[in-house]
Structure 1
Amino acid sequence: MVQITFKNNPVTLLGNEVKVGDKAPEFTVLANDLSPVTLQTDAGKVRLFSVVPSLDTGVCDAQTRKFNEAAAELGDDVVIYTVSVDLPFAQKRWCGDAGIEAVKTVSDHRDLSFGQAYGVAIEELRLLARAVFVVDKDDKVTYVEYVSEATDHPNYEGAIDAVKALK
């Protein structure tokens, strides 16, 4: 069972812990235009899911920018998603203001489908815990990081190296 804190206070994660080697769980989130996005939306590609509590915070902003920069070197057969519970309209505005074009922001605000499928929904806050998942072209999970303190940065290099290892 994954244990994390948010501002050094323990929180309860809903859903199941995902481990390396697992088949990636299905989910439904919303794109910025309110269309549904599922695990199969980019089937056959390597997918990196960067999970953040809210784009309107410093670490989440930096995390999304870092993966946006990495996207250019990873190529067209890799899709990077930033998943949060921010409303799709807020995500679209944030991306425009931040010049984010390579990362796809998706919202789990409606029913916490991603959060529960990947064990990152924080019960007390209705936010998502910070985490990174890499899923290969065959929907197998090859990298997992649940960041133990939700206000800390993930291991960017570890996640990017995991994607590169699949190319």
Structure 2
Amino acid sequence: MSNITLSGTNVETNGTLPKKGDKAPNFSLKATDLSTKTLEDYKGSRVILNIFPSIDTNVCATSVRKFNEKATGLKNTTVLCISRDTPFALKRFADDEGVEHVTNLSDFKTGDFGKTYGLQMTTGAMEGFHSRAVVVLDETGTVIHSQQVPEIGEEPDYLSALKTLL
């Protein structure tokens, strides 16, 4: 389990993120068009998993905007923005913000992604939501970067994640 904070208050997660060198666990998530996406759909591409609690919070929205901006110049790289929000909320945000260079995916139905990746918050005000994290995968689905953001209200370290792809 990881110990993180929300506004300085301790929060626990159900496990720990996959570490550098681990094979990323498979997942099944809903896209904004209600299709199902799995890790296998991105085989052969480098993948950034931008994981956050809810698109309807400032820091989460900012992370999607920033990765959308950064993703435009990345070759053979897909950015997946993953939360427990409904596919409809994620689509609304993308349409309203003109977000075109990332793929928003929803873990709303079962929360299995959060459980499998060890980032479901099990205590605190946001219990049940995903913690804020970034995981970067190479073309074979191997983790090359993993960051559990220690304070939920802070943005991830974009530069460290992106440097692994240079």
User: Which category describes the TM-score, using the shorter chain as reference length?
Assistant: over 0.9
How far is the alpha carbon of 1:73 from its aligned partner?
0.9
- For residues 8-157 of structure 1, the aligned pairs below 5 Å read 8-75=8-75, 77-124=76-123, 125-157=127-159
Aligned pair count reads: 163
Q: Which amino acid aligns with 1:146?
A: Q
Structure 2 distance, partners of 1:150, 1:68, is: 20
Give RMSD over aligned pairs. 1.1
- Kept in 2: contact 1:52–1:128 (CA 8 A): yes
How far is the alpha carbon of 1:16 from its aligned partner?
4.4
Q: Which amino acid aligns with 1:154?
A: P
TM-score for both structures, normalised by structure 2? 0.94
Please give the per-residue CA displacement for 1:21-72, whole angstroms capped at 9, x wherever unaligned.
Answer: 1011111111011111111111110000000111111111111111001111
- DSSP-derived class of the 1:121 partner: coil
Q: Which amino acid aligns with 2:154?
A: D
TM-score for both structures, normalised by structure 1? 0.93
- DSSP-derived class of the 1:14 partner: coil
Residue of structure 2 in register with 1:2 after alignment: 2
Q: Show structure 2 runs of 5+ residues with no match.
A: none
Q: Show structure 1 runs of 5+ residues with no match.
A: none
How far is the alpha carbon of 1:12 from its aligned partner?
2.1
- DSSP-derived class of the 2:165 partner: helix
